[in-house]
């Protein structure tokens, strides 16, 4: 399946558009304690994005790095993350929207066989109910959501 990510600034910072040319692995995690009485208010969410560092990802990785340095008191620290997962027949498999996402960790690793990055994002915990998950099998056109033709697969 194809994967597309759009990280939109709520202020004037540049939006970040990532497709499979920019990241290789996407993990989406919702976790809570096994005890039902604790599940009420201890649901954790995490989105992990990792990929290769190269000349194509140079600009995006610099923007992600700057975003990761923002303190939680800065309104620009919270951005809207939209994830599209698309079937081979260009139909939407899943769409997820995290309207108050922030960086938990950002790592760049140099050396070894490849230079890589890993970005960990979370939805603000008091806004978990604002996460929207849909799975309507609609036709997906990356250009309509801001991906340029050369960026879209």
**Selected residue with higher pLDDT from 49 and 137:** 49
- Residue 105 pLDDT exceeds 90: yes
Q: Which domains does the chain have, with CATH numbers?
A: 2-35+44-145 (2.30.110)
Instruction: Supply the pLDDT for residue 152.
Output: 40
pLDDT tops 70 at residue 10: yes
The number of beta carbons lying within 10 Å of the beta carbon of residue 90 is 12
Write the pLDDT tens digit of every residue in 15-68.
Answer: 889 988 888 899 999 887 776 666 666 778 899 999 999 888 888 899 999 999
- Please give the structure tokens belonging to residue 17: 């558009």
Tell me, what's the pLDDT at 72? 87
Give the C-alpha distances (Å, rounded to integers) separating 21 from 3, 26, 55, 77, 113.
10, 13, 11, 25, 18
The DSSP letter of residue 9 is -
Please state the φ and ψ torsions of residue 11, each to the nearest 5 degrees.
-115, -135
Q: Is the Cα torsion angle 118, 124, 125, 128 positive or negative in sign?
A: negative
Q: How far is CA 62 from CA 17, 30, 48, 74, in A?
A: 13, 28, 17, 19
Element (H, E) at 68: helix 58-68
**Is pLDDT of 151 > 60?**
no
pTM of the complete model: 0.88
pLDDT at 36: 65
Which band of pLDDT confidence, cut at 50, 70 and 90, is reported for residue 109? very high
pLDDT, tens only, 60-97: 899 999 999 999 889 889 999 999 999 989 999 999 99
């Amino acid at each position: 399946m194809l994967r597309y990510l759009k990280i939109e600034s709520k202020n004037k910072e540049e939006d970040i558009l990532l497709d499979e040319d920019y990241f290789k692995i996407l993990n989406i995690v919702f976790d809570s304690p096994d005890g039902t009485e604790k599940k009420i208010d201890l649901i954790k969410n995490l989105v992990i994005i990792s990929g290769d560092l190269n000349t194509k990802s140079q600009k995006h990785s610099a923007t992600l790095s700057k975003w990761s340095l923002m303190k939680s008191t800065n309104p620009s620290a919270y951005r809207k993350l939209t994830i599209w997962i698309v079937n081979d027949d260009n139909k939407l498999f899943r769409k997820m929207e995290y309207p108050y996402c922030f960086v938990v960790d950002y790592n760049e690793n140099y050396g070894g066989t490849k230079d890589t990055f890993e970005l960990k994002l979370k939805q603000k915990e008091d806004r978990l109910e604002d996460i929207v998950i849909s799975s309507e099998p609609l036709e997906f056109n990356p250009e309509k959501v801001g991906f340029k033709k050369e960026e879209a697969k």
